[in-house]
């Protein structure tokens, strides 16, 4: 899976850009504020329908325009065919997405067409941040390899929202509370089962990736399901009833799940240096990509923002070499062109220079 032709219109300072992408390495360099990250943001918009920098897309649309457009030809290695994928967002919040001219109903359909792995400065909260970041990491993998997960999670979120709204009312409708609670029980169980199954598979891919990098130690993952181990979620809901009403929210469930990430039996955030933590995040993302490729036969697209600022030269080379071995297309940004001189022969990469929102081959 890779982008062959990318068209960008009015994404921040990128007013109009058209680039022919390399199927493997795409290296983007330029001074800070030139538009390098905006190029990655445009690709992310194409695969997720949203920005990785701001929830408010009015900040992403160029100030001189009322809408942005990103489109690309996406080559599928399984079908050996290209698809035209495009998104349009307006400053008012309107959204359109199309694949080969056919309207897509939700941004989740974009993710199926263009699986993207992003690593930027905020990605390191995977180890040091709260459970949300680790659930998002986990659910990226489950979503892309378990066909039923998307529908399960959508139904779960809808019911959870309804239950929480009911809990916040002054007067509880017991029939509704019991009905929505009963529907949530099997969804909690199925989501948990799929997450656990995915993590068990992923750990087998983490080991060889970690072994490619020096000094990381033995990495293990531990899933916390979001309610006490050994308890049935139906029983937990019953015992939580008064607590949930008092707090106005559902205290336990899959929405409270977490993933413990350990190195040599110690929490990774406590065990590793800052540099090692960054390297481990890359290793976890690479392991996900390897597992995804093994299950689906497809590769995902990597967006690596300011790689030289995050890793030293040797580790940068190791990360890019692993991506090359996987056959993943990647877009990597940096300030200095020289930071990428060690990477592939010129025939195996495409260099782009960005200056004042203008992208040129370089």
Give the count of beta carbons closer than 10 Å to the beta carbon of residue 247: 13
3-class DSSP state of 213: coil
Domain boundaries, the chain: 1-115+298-362, 124-297
pLDDT band at 170 (very low <50, low <70, confident <90, very high): confident
Query: Which CA distances in Å does 324 have to 112, 205, 328?
Result: 22, 17, 6
| The two structure tokens encoding residue 334 | 């940096």
Alpha helix (H) ranges present in 168-312?
Answer: 174-210, 233-247, 268-271, 274-296, 307-310
Who contacts 312 (Cβ-Cβ below 8 Å, separation ≥6)? 275
Categorise residue 44: left if φ over 0, alpha if ψ from -120 to 50, beta otherwise. Answer: alpha
pLDDT band at 171 (very low <50, low <70, confident <90, very high): confident
Query: Which CA distances in Å does 33 have to 51, 64, 235?
Result: 17, 18, 54
Sheet strand arrangement including 219-224: 219-224, 258-263, 266-267
pLDDT tens digits, 8-25: 999 999 999 999 999 999
Query: Which CA distances in Å does 288 have to 3, 175, 207?
Result: 20, 42, 12
For residues 37 and 63, give the distance between their C-alpha atoms in angstroms, rounded to a whole number: 17
Report the range of poorest mean pLDDT among 148-152, 170-174, 231-235, 296-300. 170-174
pLDDT of residue 343: 53
Sheet strand arrangement including 102-103: 14-20, 2-11, 67-76, 81-90, 95-99, 102-103
pLDDT tens digits, 55-66: 888 889 999 999
We find that the CATH architecture of domain 124-297 is Up-down Bundle (1.20)
Please name the fold of domain 1-115+298-362: Rossmann fold (3.40.50)
pLDDT band at 344 (very low <50, low <70, confident <90, very high): low
- Cβ burial of 217 (10 Å; 0-12, 13-18, 19+) is middle
- Cβ burial of 292 (10 Å; 0-12, 13-18, 19+) is buried
Please give the average per-residue pLDDT across 208-223, as a whole number: 92
Comparing CA positions, the residue from 41, 49, 142, 150 lying closest to residue 94 is 49
Mean pLDDT of the chain: 93
Is 124-297 the same fold as 1-115+298-362? Answer: no
Comparing CA positions, the residue from 116, 96, 93 lying closest to residue 106 is 96
pLDDT tens digits, 132-162: 999 999 999 999 999 999 999 999 999 999 9
For residues 214 and 180, give the distance between their C-alpha atoms in angstroms, rounded to a whole number: 50
- First vs last C-alpha separation in the chain: 24
DSSP state of 227: S
Is the pTM above the cut of 0.75?
Answer: yes
Judge contact between 39 and 63, C-beta under 8 A.
Answer: no
DSSP string of 39-77? Answer: HHHHHHHHHHSS-SS-S-GGGTB-TT-SEEEEEEEEEET
3-class DSSP state of 184: helix
- Cα 333–337–339 angle (5° rounding)? 80
């Amino acid at each position: 899976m890779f982008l062959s032709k990318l068209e960008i219109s009015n994404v921040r300072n990128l007013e109009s850009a058209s680039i022919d992408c390399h199927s493997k390495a795409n290296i983007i360099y330029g001074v800070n504020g030139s538009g390098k990250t905006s190029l990655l943001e445009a690709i992310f918009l194409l695969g997720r329908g949203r920005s990785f920098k701001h929830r408010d897309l009015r900040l992403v649309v160029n100030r001189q325009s009322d809408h942005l457009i990103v489109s690309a030809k996406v080559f599928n290695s399984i079908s050996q065919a290209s698809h035209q994928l495009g998104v349009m967002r307006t400053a008012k919040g309107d959204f359109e997405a199309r694949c080969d001219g056919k309207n897509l109903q939700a941004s989740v359909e974009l993710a199926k067409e263009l699986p993207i792995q992003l690593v930027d400065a905020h990605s390191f909260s995977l180890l040091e941040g709260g459970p949300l970041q680790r659930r998002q990491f986990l659910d990226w993998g489950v979503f892309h390899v378990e066909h039923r997960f998307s529908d399960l999670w959508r139904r779960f979120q809808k019911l959870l929202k309804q239950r929480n709204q009911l809990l916040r009312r002054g007067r509880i409708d017991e029939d509704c509370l019991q009905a929505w609670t009963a529907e949530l029980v099997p969804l909690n169980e199925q989501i948990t089962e799929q997450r656990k199954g995915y993590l068990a598979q992923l750990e087998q891919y983490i080991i060889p990736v970690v072994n490619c990098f020096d000094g990381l130690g033995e990495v293990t993952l531990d899933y916390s399901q979001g309610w006490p181990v050994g308890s049935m979620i139906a029983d937990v809901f019953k015992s939580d009833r008064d607590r949930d009403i008092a707090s106005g929210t559902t205290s336990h469930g899959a929405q409270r799940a977490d993933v413990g990430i350990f190195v040599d039996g110690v929490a990774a955030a406590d065990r590793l240096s800052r540099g090692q933590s960054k390297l481990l995040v890359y290793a976890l993302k690479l392991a996900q990509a390897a597992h995804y490729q093994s299950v689906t036969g497809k590769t995902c697209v990597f967006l690596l923002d300011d790689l030289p600022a995050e890793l030293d030269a040797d580790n940068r080379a190791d990360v890019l070499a692993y991506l090359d071995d996987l056959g993943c297309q990647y877009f990597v940004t940096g300030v200095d062109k020289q930071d990428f001189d060690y990477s592939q022969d010129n025939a195996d990469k495409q260099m782009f220079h960005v200056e004042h929102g203008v992208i040129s081959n370089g």
